[in-house]
């Protein structure tokens, strides 16, 4: 195999665009109290959140298949009516997604310098947080309702899976709430240190919790 | 569009203080070393367990000194009870598969070298990376804790089949607390691994330096990336399975325990569960898991061989596509572990065909390695010897897979030593050889010192010959009907096989002792080894372009620019016979590569 070595060559950067920057570099800076931001594409955190959502999807897929097999493997499946508070919780969660999008939009406006006041995005973030906590409380209320009917974790396989799905989803929602609280905290500091990528990541996660809940509600509604 | 001042302001500062530098470090290199250290500790524990098992198998009535200290009831006077043998066997499998084979090749080497080989300063999420190690370490502690609870560790095997694993204490010693600790440990381990995959996948896709296109990545990065993708979906299924198992134990649910089960004259309170459900969930994880164990070793071996052959493989792309094909097919074959489980026999065809199909990409890879070796002047050093040994072990172990893939043959061979020989050779020993090859190859980069070559070669030959002496006879035993997971062989057809077992035990003890040579070499060379040049093997990938050991941020603040494909060897007109990836010199290659 014959090869020759030539002079220095230029990197063909058109073919290989630079992706060198350490993901999520800071883009909210403050000089003398005002703050200014630049677009932060931060692909690493976007890939990361999709990877995380894929893992969560697989987890719930495994639980779903366990439920389907368990239902078919024996005749002891006891159907029961879903507590009606679940539907209210669904509405609360969907609304929280809307408010989160409103908050995110306003953070982006602020980053572009279009809206001078900080307060409004913060308000929508607090509303989202509040609705999120309300959802978790509502889920707990659903469990209390089932308890009052004598349906506990081990009472029947249907109640087992009801508690399992709602509890695991609620744990993930609590994780999402933690992320939202990080966003609020970083935004509320005297010098905001919030990155747009953080807001995007938390939003993707939160909307996914929403979609996941809709799927779970459908699953429980058809099978429980 | 970057705010330079903001970027400079975020420039990473090296940590100070012992704790931040060596214990709770976010540096991917330290994390990689921590994983490797964990795997090293785990492999010695797993190996000692195997010695105890082998001694008991060869001499069932023998008293093993000290055993009664660990578990009074399990080993009165040092003689293992049958149940305790099974308990040790369970932990041997669990510790080896999870804490050695899943940890060292992927999390150990991958964490250290993937960011360097893609040209990044660190993984994209360093704190999550640190969390992933400590979560894995926590899982390890929980698993070891199972040895110290009153009834000992579980005895249901690393596969923990239901209903044995789901019934609780009534099913045997260790099936209560021990099994719950096992399931909790594995669930925690899953979380740790999932956190790791986040970093691997994001790093490969988004953190590549300028000029590092996907096809310019070394094969090790491809292997780690593909393994991380498998890992993502596989561990995300094992975790639910373990959660359901724990609930069956502590919450009185019946996911896995069927009705009307009488154990020890007691009717069990569970009802309606499906034992087969556990097997489906477990093996949906379990088969991709074996590829998680072996694919990184394939990448390491490719990398080591290319560097030592001084020429690239016959086809770089075929290796990549084969690894992708293996990853894809790995999800379709899991039922080959369940041919005799009572599933619909037609499903056996559905699983057997992909199992036979998955041998195709594996064979392609082996043929490419062997074909590339033909006519090359392979430099013989310990790393390349272990790489060759990997091919040997992978082929030997893989060939028996063809037989096990066929349900008609598997009916005879399932749960015999044939299977045990198969998976030990193709997965355990082969992956271990990959780990050894990687260790000898990259030790100079990590520590700045060379390992002792003579000791390395002695270690190789003892391990290579010893592993064959141990595991080849397993196939003969299996075909003769020797059942696995038995603690003694007293039946008519198995008693005559005892001399073979004694031979295996002696071989195991000698081979195990030879590993002390490796341990000595590792520790001695770390402190007193000959100082290593920056590029002792004359490699082309980015890890050889930085000092040994690498600086805190890998490239000393100046990220590399990559101009070439990863394996530019055999180049005429170059100062040496190779061109490094970040060398600005341009090459006109007859093969049309740049």
d(CA B154, CA B547): 47
Asked if B258 is an interface residue toward chain A (Cβ–Cβ < 8 A), one would say yes
- Among B131, B132, B133, B111, residue whose Cα is nearest residue B122: B111
* Domain boundaries along the sequence of chain A: 82-223
Record: contact B588-A4, CB cut-off 8 A = yes
Instruction: Decide: B76 and B87 in contact? Cβ < 8 Å.
Output: no
Chain A neighbours among B 218-237 (CB < 8 Å)?
232-233, 235-237
Render each residue's pLDDT in chain B as its tens digit; 594 residues. Answer: 333 333 333 456 788 888 888 889 999 999 999 999 999 999 999 999 999 999 999 999 999 988 888 787 788 888 999 999 999 999 999 999 999 999 999 999 999 999 999 999 999 999 999 999 999 999 999 999 999 999 999 999 999 999 999 999 999 999 999 999 999 999 999 999 999 999 999 999 999 999 999 999 999 999 999 999 999 999 999 999 999 999 999 999 999 999 999 998 999 988 899 999 999 999 999 999 999 999 999 999 999 999 999 999 999 999 999 999 999 999 999 999 999 999 898 999 999 999 999 999 999 999 999 999 999 999 999 999 999 999 999 999 999 999 999 999 999 999 999 999 999 999 999 999 999 999 999 999 999 999 999 999 999 999 999 999 999 999 999 999 999 999 999 888 899 999 999 999 999 999 999 999 999 999 999 999 999 999 999 999 999 999 999 999 899 888 999 998 999 887 776 667 888 898 887 765 444 444
B38: containing domain: 25-273
Total domains present in chain B: 1
Q: How far is CA B594 from CA A17, B569, B584, in A?
A: 17, 12, 12
> Under an 8 A CB cutoff, do A58 and B232 touch?
yes
User: Does B356 fall in a domain?
Assistant: no
Q: What is the 3 state secondary structure string of chain A?
A: CCEEEEEECCCCCCCCCCCCCCCCCCCEEEECCEEEECCCCCHHHHHHHHHHHHHHHHHHHHHHHHHHHHHHHCCCCCCCCCCCHHHHHHHHHHHHHHHHHHHHHHHHHHHCCCCCCCHHHHHHHHHHHHHHHHHHHHHHHHHHHHHHCCCCCCCCHHHHHHHHHHHHHHHHHHHHHHHHHHHHHHHHCCCCCCCHHHHHHHHHHHHHHHHHHHHHHHHHHHHC
Q: What are phi and psi of B569, to 5 degrees?
A: -110, 170
Is residue B159 assigned to a domain?
A: yes
ipTM: 0.93
User: Under a CB-based contact definition with an 8 Å cutoff, are residues B369 and B391 in contact?
Assistant: yes
Q: Residue B588's beta-bridge partner residues? A: A4
Confirm whether B84 is domain-assigned: yes
Helix (H) or strand (E) holding B518: helix B498-528
CATH superfamily, region A82-223:
Cytochrome c oxidase, subunit III, four-helix bundle (1.20.120.80)
Q: Judge whether B97 lies within some domain.
A: yes
* Cα–Cα distance for residue pair B369/B469, rounded to 1 Å: 25
Domain presence at residue B576: no
CATH classification at residue B97: 1.20.210.10
The structure's pTM equals 0.92
In a domain, B457, yes or no: no
Q: Are B408 and B491 in contact (CB under 8 A)?
A: no
Q: What gap in Å lies between CA B551 and CA B529, rounded to an integer? A: 20
Contacts of B588 in chain A (CB under 8 A): 3-4, 6
Whole-Å CA distances, B90 to A170, B97, B159, B192, B501 = 34, 11, 8, 21, 20
Task: Tell which residue, B154, B201, B204, B193, has the closest CA to residue B177.
Answer: B154
Interacting residues of B40 by C-beta distance below 8 A, sequence separation 6+: B104, B519
- Secondary structure of residue B581 in the 3-state scheme: coil
- The shortest C-alpha distance from A101 to chain B (Å) reads 25
Q: Vertex B518, ends B513 and B373: CA angle to 5°?
A: 115
Q: Which one of B4, B11, B121, B201 would you mutate to disrupt binding with A, by most A Cβ within 10 Å of its Cβ? A: B201
Question: Is residue B407, in this structure, part of any structural domain at all?
Answer: no
């Amino acid at each position: 195999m014959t090869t020759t070595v030539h002079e220095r060559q230029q990197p063909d950067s058109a073919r290989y665009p630079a992706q060198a920057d350490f993901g999520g570099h800071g883009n909210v800076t403050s000089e003398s109290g005002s703050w200014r931001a630049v677009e932060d594409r931060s692909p690493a955190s976007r890939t990361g959140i999709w990877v995380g959502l894929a893992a969560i999807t697989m987890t719930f897929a495994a639980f779903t298949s366990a439920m389907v097999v368990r239902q078919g493997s024996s005749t002891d499946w006891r159907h029961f009516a879903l507590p009606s508070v679940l539907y209210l919780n669904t509405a609360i969660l969907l609304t929280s997604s809307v408010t989160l999008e409103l908050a995110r939009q306003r953070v982006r406006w602020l980053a572009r310098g279009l809206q001078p006041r900080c307060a409004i995005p913060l308000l929508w973030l607090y509303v989202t947080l509040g609705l999120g906590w309300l959802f978790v409380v509502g889920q707990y209320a659903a469990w209390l309702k089932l308890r009052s009917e004598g349906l506990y974790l081990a009472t029947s396989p249907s109640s087992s899976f009801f508690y399992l799905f709602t509890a695991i989803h609620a744990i993930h929602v609590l994780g999402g709430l933690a992320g939202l609280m990080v966003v609020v905290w970083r935004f509320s500091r005297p010098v905001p240190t919030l990155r747009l990528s953080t807001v995007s990541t938390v939003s993707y996660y939160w909307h996914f919790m929403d979609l996941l809940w809709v799927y779970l509600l459908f699953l429980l509604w058809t099978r429980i | 569009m970057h705010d330079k001042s903001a970027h400079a302001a975020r420039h990473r500062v090296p940590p100070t203080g012992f704790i931040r530098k060596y214990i709770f470090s976010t540096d991917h290199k330290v994390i990689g070393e921590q994983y490797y250290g964990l795997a090293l500790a785990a492999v010695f524990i797993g190996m000692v367990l195997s010695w105890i098992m082998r001694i008991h198998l060869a001499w069932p009535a023998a008293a093993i000194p000290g055993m009664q200290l660990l578990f009074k009831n399990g080993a009165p006077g040092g003689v293992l009870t049958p149940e305790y043998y099974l308990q040790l066997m369970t932990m041997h499998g669990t510790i080896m598969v999870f804490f050695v084979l899943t940890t060292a090749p992927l999390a150990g080497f991958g964490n250290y070298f993937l960011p360097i080989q893609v040209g990044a300063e660190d993984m994209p999420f360093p704190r999550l990376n640190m969390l992933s190690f400590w979560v894995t370490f926590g899982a390890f502690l929980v698993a070891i804790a199972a040895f110290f609870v009153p009834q000992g560790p579980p005895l249901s095997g690393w596969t923990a089949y239901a209903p044995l694993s789901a019934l609780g204490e009534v099913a045997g010693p260790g099936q209560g607390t021990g099994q719950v600790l096992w399931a909790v440990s594995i669930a925690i381990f899953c979380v740790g691994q999932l956190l790791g995959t986040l970093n691997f996948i994001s790093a490969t896709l988004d953190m590549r330096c300028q000029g590092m296109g996907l096809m310019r990545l070394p094969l090790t990065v491809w292997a780690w990336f593909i393994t991380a993708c498998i890992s993502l979906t596989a561990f995300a299924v094992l975790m639910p399975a373990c959660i359901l198992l724990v609930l069956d134990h502590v919450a009185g649910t019946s996911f896995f325990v069927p009705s009307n089960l009488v154990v020890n004259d007691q009717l069990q309170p569970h009802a309606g569960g499906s034992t087969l459900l556990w097997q489906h969930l477990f093996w949906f994880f379990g088969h991709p898991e074996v590829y998680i164990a072996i694919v990184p070793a394939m990448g390491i071996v490719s990398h080591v061989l290319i560097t030592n052959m001084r020429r690239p493989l016959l086809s770089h792309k075929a290796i990549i596509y084969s690894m992708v094909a293996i990853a894809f097919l790995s999800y379709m074959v899991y039922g080959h572990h369940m041919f005799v489980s009572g599933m619909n026999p037609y499903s056996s065809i559905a699983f057997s065909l992909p199992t036979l199909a998955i041998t195709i990409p594996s064979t392609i890879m082996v043929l490419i390695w062997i074909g590339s070796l033909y006519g090359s002047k392979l430099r013989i050093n310990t790393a390349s010897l272990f790489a060759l040994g990997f091919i040997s072990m992978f082929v030997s172990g893989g060939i028996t897979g063809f037989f096990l893939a066929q349900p008609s043959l598997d009916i005879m061979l399932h749960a015999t030593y044939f299977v045990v020989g198969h998976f030990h050779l193709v997965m355990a020993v082969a992956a271990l050889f990959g780990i050894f090859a990687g260790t000898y190859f990259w030790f100079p980069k990590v520590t700045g010192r060379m390992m002792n070559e003579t000791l390395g070669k002695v270690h190789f030959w003892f391990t290579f010959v010893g592993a064959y002496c141990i595991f080849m006879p397993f196939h003969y035993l299996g075909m003769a009907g020797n059942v696995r997971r038995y603690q003694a062989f007293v039946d008519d057809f198995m008693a005559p096989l005892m001399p073979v077992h004694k031979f295996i035990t002696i071989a195991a003890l000698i081979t195990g002792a030879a590993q002390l040579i490796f341990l000595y070499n590792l520790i001695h060379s770390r402190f007193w080894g000959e100082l290593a040049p920056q590029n002792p093997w004359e490699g082309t990938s980015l890890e050889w372009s930085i000092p040994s050991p690498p600086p805190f941020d890998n490239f000393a603040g100046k990220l590399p620019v990559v101009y070439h494909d990863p394996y530019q060897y055999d180049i005429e007109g170059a100062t040496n016979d190779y061109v490094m990836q970040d060398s600005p010199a341009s090459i006109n290659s007859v093969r049309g590569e740049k």
